[in-house]
Chains A and B, each alone.
Chain A
Amino acid sequence: MVVETAFTPVTAIIGGAMIGLAALVLMWSVGRIAGISGIVAGAILEAEDERNWRLLFLAGLFVGALIASVITGALDDVSSIASTPVLIMAGLLVGIGTRMGGGCTSGHGVCGISRFSQRSIVATAVFMASGAATVFVIRHLFGEGV
Protein backbone atom coordinates (compact mmCIF):
# COMPACT_ATOMS: atom_id res chain seq x y z
CA MET A 1 0.00 0.00 0.00
CA VAL A 2 1.52 3.33 -1.07
CA VAL A 3 0.76 6.25 1.25
CA GLU A 4 2.32 9.56 0.22
CA THR A 5 3.98 11.56 2.99
CA ALA A 6 5.22 15.15 3.15
CA PHE A 7 8.89 16.01 3.59
CA THR A 8 9.18 17.23 7.20
CA PRO A 9 12.68 18.71 7.57
CA VAL A 10 12.20 20.60 10.86
CA THR A 11 10.78 17.74 12.94
CA ALA A 12 13.23 15.34 11.26
CA ILE A 13 16.20 17.43 12.42
CA ILE A 14 14.81 17.99 15.94
CA GLY A 15 13.96 14.29 16.34
CA GLY A 16 17.29 13.21 14.91
CA ALA A 17 19.18 15.50 17.30
CA MET A 18 17.23 14.00 20.23
CA ILE A 19 18.17 10.48 19.07
CA GLY A 20 21.79 11.59 18.88
CA LEU A 21 21.63 13.11 22.35
CA ALA A 22 20.14 9.84 23.67
CA ALA A 23 23.06 7.85 22.23
CA LEU A 24 25.46 10.33 23.77
CA VAL A 25 23.89 10.16 27.25
CA LEU A 26 24.02 6.34 27.19
CA MET A 27 27.67 6.25 26.11
CA TRP A 28 28.72 8.98 28.60
CA SER A 29 26.89 7.36 31.55
CA VAL A 30 27.32 3.59 31.14
CA GLY A 31 29.53 3.24 28.06
CA ARG A 32 26.94 1.38 26.01
CA ILE A 33 25.91 1.68 22.38
CA ALA A 34 22.29 2.73 21.79
CA GLY A 35 21.59 -0.01 19.27
CA ILE A 36 17.95 -0.90 19.65
CA SER A 37 18.06 -4.35 18.02
CA GLY A 38 20.84 -5.38 20.40
CA ILE A 39 19.06 -3.84 23.38
CA VAL A 40 15.79 -5.66 22.58
CA ALA A 41 17.54 -8.99 22.00
CA GLY A 42 19.64 -8.58 25.15
CA ALA A 43 16.62 -7.58 27.24
CA ILE A 44 15.10 -10.95 26.36
CA LEU A 45 18.06 -13.30 26.01
CA GLU A 46 20.82 -12.08 28.33
CA ALA A 47 21.39 -12.96 32.00
CA GLU A 48 19.98 -10.69 34.69
CA ASP A 49 22.91 -8.28 35.16
CA GLU A 50 23.08 -7.61 31.43
CA ARG A 51 19.31 -7.51 31.09
CA ASN A 52 18.40 -4.84 33.63
CA TRP A 53 19.90 -1.74 32.03
CA ARG A 54 18.32 -2.73 28.74
CA LEU A 55 14.87 -3.08 30.32
CA LEU A 56 15.31 0.29 31.98
CA PHE A 57 16.29 1.90 28.66
CA LEU A 58 13.27 0.34 26.93
CA ALA A 59 10.92 1.50 29.70
CA GLY A 60 12.30 5.01 29.23
CA LEU A 61 11.84 4.70 25.47
CA PHE A 62 8.12 3.99 25.84
CA VAL A 63 7.65 6.79 28.40
CA GLY A 64 9.51 9.31 26.22
CA ALA A 65 7.57 8.28 23.11
CA LEU A 66 4.27 8.51 25.00
CA ILE A 67 5.01 12.00 26.31
CA ALA A 68 6.20 13.20 22.89
CA SER A 69 3.17 11.73 21.12
CA VAL A 70 0.75 13.38 23.56
CA ILE A 71 2.47 16.76 23.11
CA THR A 72 2.99 16.65 19.34
CA GLY A 73 0.29 14.26 18.13
CA ALA A 74 2.96 12.63 15.97
CA LEU A 75 1.44 9.15 16.28
CA ASP A 76 -2.16 10.22 15.57
CA ASP A 77 -2.25 9.21 11.91
CA VAL A 78 0.22 6.34 12.10
CA SER A 79 -0.96 2.99 10.82
CA SER A 80 0.56 -0.14 9.35
CA ILE A 81 1.16 -0.19 5.59
CA ALA A 82 1.57 -3.95 5.14
CA SER A 83 -0.67 -7.02 5.35
CA THR A 84 -0.36 -9.51 8.20
CA PRO A 85 1.63 -12.15 6.24
CA VAL A 86 4.04 -9.45 5.02
CA LEU A 87 4.43 -8.06 8.56
CA ILE A 88 5.27 -11.53 9.87
CA MET A 89 7.83 -12.13 7.13
CA ALA A 90 9.30 -8.64 7.57
CA GLY A 91 9.50 -9.05 11.34
CA LEU A 92 11.35 -12.36 11.00
CA LEU A 93 13.76 -10.81 8.48
CA VAL A 94 14.44 -7.81 10.73
CA GLY A 95 14.92 -10.04 13.78
CA ILE A 96 17.25 -12.52 12.08
CA GLY A 97 19.00 -9.90 9.91
CA THR A 98 19.84 -7.50 12.74
CA ARG A 99 21.26 -10.31 14.88
CA MET A 100 23.25 -11.81 12.02
CA GLY A 101 24.51 -8.39 10.92
CA GLY A 102 25.10 -7.17 14.47
CA GLY A 103 22.93 -4.06 14.37
CA CYS A 104 20.25 -1.92 12.79
CA THR A 105 19.65 1.72 11.86
CA SER A 106 20.62 2.96 15.34
CA GLY A 107 23.55 0.70 16.24
CA HIS A 108 25.21 0.67 12.81
CA GLY A 109 23.58 3.72 11.19
CA VAL A 110 24.12 6.23 14.00
CA CYS A 111 26.49 4.90 16.67
CA GLY A 112 28.74 2.87 14.34
CA ILE A 113 29.13 5.45 11.58
CA SER A 114 29.91 8.17 14.11
CA ARG A 115 32.78 5.99 15.41
CA PHE A 116 33.93 5.60 11.78
CA SER A 117 33.46 1.82 12.08
CA GLN A 118 34.04 0.22 8.68
CA ARG A 119 31.69 -2.65 9.51
CA SER A 120 28.91 -0.20 10.32
CA ILE A 121 29.48 1.90 7.20
CA VAL A 122 29.32 -1.23 5.04
CA ALA A 123 26.27 -2.62 6.88
CA THR A 124 24.40 0.69 6.55
CA ALA A 125 25.17 0.91 2.83
CA VAL A 126 23.97 -2.69 2.36
CA PHE A 127 20.67 -2.34 4.23
CA MET A 128 19.91 1.01 2.57
CA ALA A 129 20.58 -0.53 -0.83
CA SER A 130 18.62 -3.74 -0.20
CA GLY A 131 15.79 -1.65 1.26
CA ALA A 132 15.65 0.65 -1.75
CA ALA A 133 15.85 -2.34 -4.12
CA THR A 134 13.00 -4.06 -2.25
CA VAL A 135 10.76 -0.98 -2.43
CA PHE A 136 11.57 -0.63 -6.14
CA VAL A 137 10.48 -4.23 -6.73
CA ILE A 138 7.24 -4.08 -4.71
CA ARG A 139 6.17 -0.62 -5.92
CA HIS A 140 7.49 -0.28 -9.44
CA LEU A 141 7.75 -3.85 -10.75
CA PHE A 142 4.79 -5.42 -8.92
CA GLY A 143 2.71 -2.25 -8.83
CA GLU A 144 1.08 -0.86 -5.72
CA GLY A 145 3.29 -2.24 -2.96
CA VAL A 146 2.39 -5.11 -0.67
Chain B
Amino acid sequence: MDNSEYLSKEKFIKETVRFSGISEDELLKKGVLKTGDFLDKNELIDRKNVARILHNYLRIVLKEKDEEDISKAYILKDLFDCRVCANHIAQVYLKGIMDAENLNGLVIFDVFGKVREDETEDYFRKIGKFIK
Protein backbone atom coordinates (compact mmCIF):
# COMPACT_ATOMS: atom_id res chain seq x y z
CA MET B 1 0.00 0.00 0.00
CA ASP B 2 1.33 3.42 -0.91
CA ASN B 3 0.74 5.25 2.36
CA SER B 4 1.32 8.68 0.87
CA GLU B 5 -2.16 8.81 -0.63
CA TYR B 6 -3.86 8.18 2.72
CA LEU B 7 -4.51 10.66 5.52
CA SER B 8 -2.73 10.52 8.86
CA LYS B 9 -4.55 11.20 12.10
CA GLU B 10 -2.90 14.62 12.25
CA LYS B 11 -3.98 15.53 8.72
CA PHE B 12 -7.55 14.41 9.30
CA ILE B 13 -7.74 16.46 12.51
CA LYS B 14 -6.42 19.46 10.59
CA GLU B 15 -9.09 18.93 7.94
CA THR B 16 -11.75 18.77 10.66
CA VAL B 17 -10.47 21.99 12.22
CA ARG B 18 -10.36 23.69 8.83
CA PHE B 19 -13.87 22.59 7.92
CA SER B 20 -15.47 23.36 11.26
CA GLY B 21 -13.58 26.52 12.14
CA ILE B 22 -13.23 25.12 15.67
CA SER B 23 -9.84 24.69 17.32
CA GLU B 24 -8.38 21.29 18.24
CA ASP B 25 -8.70 22.10 21.93
CA GLU B 26 -12.33 23.06 21.58
CA LEU B 27 -13.14 19.94 19.54
CA LEU B 28 -11.49 17.89 22.29
CA LYS B 29 -13.40 19.69 25.02
CA LYS B 30 -16.70 19.23 23.18
CA GLY B 31 -16.02 15.51 22.79
CA VAL B 32 -15.74 15.50 18.99
CA LEU B 33 -12.14 14.37 19.35
CA LYS B 34 -10.57 12.32 22.12
CA THR B 35 -7.10 12.43 23.60
CA GLY B 36 -6.10 9.25 21.78
CA ASP B 37 -6.51 11.09 18.49
CA PHE B 38 -3.46 13.18 19.33
CA LEU B 39 -1.15 10.24 19.99
CA ASP B 40 0.92 8.69 17.21
CA LYS B 41 -0.31 11.48 14.97
CA ASN B 42 1.56 10.21 11.95
CA GLU B 43 -0.34 6.93 11.92
CA LEU B 44 -2.92 6.59 9.18
CA ILE B 45 -6.42 7.17 10.43
CA ASP B 46 -8.83 4.30 9.88
CA ARG B 47 -12.43 4.42 8.74
CA LYS B 48 -13.93 3.54 12.10
CA ASN B 49 -12.24 6.53 13.70
CA VAL B 50 -13.23 8.78 10.81
CA ALA B 51 -16.81 7.62 11.31
CA ARG B 52 -16.59 8.43 15.01
CA ILE B 53 -15.26 11.94 14.47
CA LEU B 54 -17.74 12.74 11.71
CA HIS B 55 -20.67 11.39 13.70
CA ASN B 56 -19.59 13.25 16.83
CA TYR B 57 -19.30 16.45 14.79
CA LEU B 58 -22.80 15.97 13.37
CA ARG B 59 -24.29 15.16 16.77
CA ILE B 60 -22.47 17.57 19.04
CA VAL B 61 -21.73 20.58 16.87
CA LEU B 62 -24.50 20.46 14.26
CA LYS B 63 -27.04 19.02 16.75
CA GLU B 64 -28.16 16.57 14.07
CA LYS B 65 -30.42 13.88 15.52
CA ASP B 66 -29.39 10.24 15.19
CA GLU B 67 -31.31 7.87 12.98
CA GLU B 68 -33.36 5.95 15.54
CA ASP B 69 -33.75 2.76 13.54
CA ILE B 70 -30.32 1.55 12.51
CA SER B 71 -31.51 -1.85 11.31
CA LYS B 72 -30.84 -0.92 7.66
CA ALA B 73 -27.14 -0.73 8.57
CA TYR B 74 -27.23 -4.36 9.69
CA ILE B 75 -26.43 -5.18 6.08
CA LEU B 76 -22.83 -4.21 6.91
CA LYS B 77 -21.17 -7.51 7.72
CA ASP B 78 -18.51 -5.95 9.93
CA LEU B 79 -20.86 -3.60 11.82
CA PHE B 80 -21.10 -5.83 14.86
CA ASP B 81 -17.35 -6.37 15.06
CA CYS B 82 -17.13 -3.07 16.85
CA ARG B 83 -19.04 -2.37 20.03
CA VAL B 84 -17.73 1.16 20.47
CA CYS B 85 -18.08 2.37 16.93
CA ALA B 86 -21.13 0.47 15.63
CA ASN B 87 -23.47 3.39 16.12
CA HIS B 88 -21.00 5.89 14.64
CA ILE B 89 -20.63 3.71 11.56
CA ALA B 90 -24.37 3.07 11.28
CA GLN B 91 -25.16 6.79 11.50
CA VAL B 92 -22.67 8.01 8.90
CA TYR B 93 -23.64 5.14 6.61
CA LEU B 94 -27.39 5.73 6.94
CA LYS B 95 -26.99 9.49 6.51
CA GLY B 96 -25.09 8.83 3.27
CA ILE B 97 -21.80 10.33 4.41
CA MET B 98 -19.59 7.25 4.26
CA ASP B 99 -20.20 4.39 1.85
CA ALA B 100 -19.73 0.66 2.17
CA GLU B 101 -18.10 -1.73 -0.24
CA ASN B 102 -19.98 -4.50 -1.99
CA LEU B 103 -17.76 -7.53 -2.55
CA ASN B 104 -19.80 -10.03 -4.54
CA GLY B 105 -22.88 -9.44 -2.43
CA LEU B 106 -20.97 -9.14 0.85
CA VAL B 107 -21.40 -5.56 2.04
CA ILE B 108 -18.65 -4.37 4.37
CA PHE B 109 -17.83 -1.01 5.88
CA ASP B 110 -14.12 -1.90 6.14
CA VAL B 111 -13.54 -0.59 9.66
CA PHE B 112 -9.76 -0.79 9.43
CA GLY B 113 -9.59 0.69 5.91
CA LYS B 114 -7.82 4.03 5.36
CA VAL B 115 -9.13 7.20 3.77
CA ARG B 116 -7.76 9.29 0.90
CA GLU B 117 -7.83 13.06 0.61
CA ASP B 118 -10.51 13.06 -2.08
CA GLU B 119 -12.69 10.80 0.07
CA THR B 120 -12.24 13.12 3.02
CA GLU B 121 -13.25 16.12 0.93
CA ASP B 122 -16.34 14.20 -0.14
CA TYR B 123 -17.26 13.39 3.50
CA PHE B 124 -17.06 17.03 4.51
CA ARG B 125 -18.96 18.11 1.42
CA LYS B 126 -21.78 15.76 2.42
CA ILE B 127 -21.61 16.90 6.05
CA GLY B 128 -21.99 20.47 4.81
CA LYS B 129 -25.51 19.60 3.69
CA PHE B 130 -26.49 19.10 7.34
CA ILE B 131 -25.57 22.66 8.32
CA LYS B 132 -28.86 24.42 9.01
Real complex partners, A and B?
no
Instruction: Report which A residues bind B (CB closer than 8 A).
Output: none
What is the interface of chain B, defined by CB distance below 8 A to chain A? none
